[in-house]
A and B are shown apart, each in its own frame.
Chain A
Amino acid sequence: QSVLTQPPSASGTPGQRVTISCSGSSSNIGSNNVYWYLQLPGTAPKLLIYRNNQRPSGVPDRFSGSKSGTSASLAISGLRSEDEADYYCAAWDDSLSGWVFGGGTKLTVL
């Protein structure tokens, strides 16, 4: 099991808004920044969100992140077919002295 918990799957129709949750603990999300990644099949992960809610340049504002307590969320609005991918959250864990990832959420655009 992953230290950070994500739902294994999520889905939505084009144009919809979907959210993906990431649940952790006081030693990771509760005290450190959360990062979100998108991974298309056969490719390397791509950074979507850093420091909980910041977007790197080039990432559309359809993607947004938030954090509250020991949980974080990634929201995707105006869903598009090209958003179909695996999404991962990550954070530093003070107790483990290492980075931890969520198990990943496979997003399907219906």
Chain B
Amino acid sequence: VQLVESGGGVVQPGGSLRLSCAASGFTFSTSGMHWVRQAPGKGLQWVAFVRSDGSNKYYVDSVKGRFTISRDNSKNTVFLQMNSLSVEDTAVYYCAQDLWNWGQGTLVTVSS
């Protein structure tokens, strides 16, 4: 199983970023996919989840209306579109398959 996140970087407050997570080594189309983040020196915070067929999506309250999780089963990829970013969104963002297997994470820094 391999999960490779990309798309992180430095963005100004109010800006947007789109994270991607390319999956391989398992049947992506039957797996639920999560995004979990970890602010510097802090604990894990679940961010979003999308069911295997994309039919249901769930978000932590603090990102509702700003973040959108989506997936492309034809490309074995899950995305996290992040809008209206604030400094509180600064974190390493991990994608995870059913919270079993995790990627190495991508760092998002929101700073002016």
Residues of A within 8 A of B (CB): 2, 35, 37, 39, 43-47, 50, 56, 86, 88, 90, 96-104
Contact = CB atoms under 8 A, between A and B. Distances in A.
Contacts of B100: 47, 50, 56
Contacts, number: 49
* Chain B interface, >50% SS class: strand
A35 B99 CA distance: 9
Interface stretch (B21-29, B73-81, B102-110): B102-110
B94 A47 contact: no
Q: Which of A35, A37, A44, A46 has the most CB of B within 10 A?
A: A44
Nearest to B64: A98
Main secondary structure of the interface of A (DSSP, over half): strand
Contact of B43 (A43, A97, A103): A103
Given A56-B100, A90-B99, A45 B44 contact: yes
Contacts of B44: 37, 39, 45, 88, 90, 101, 104
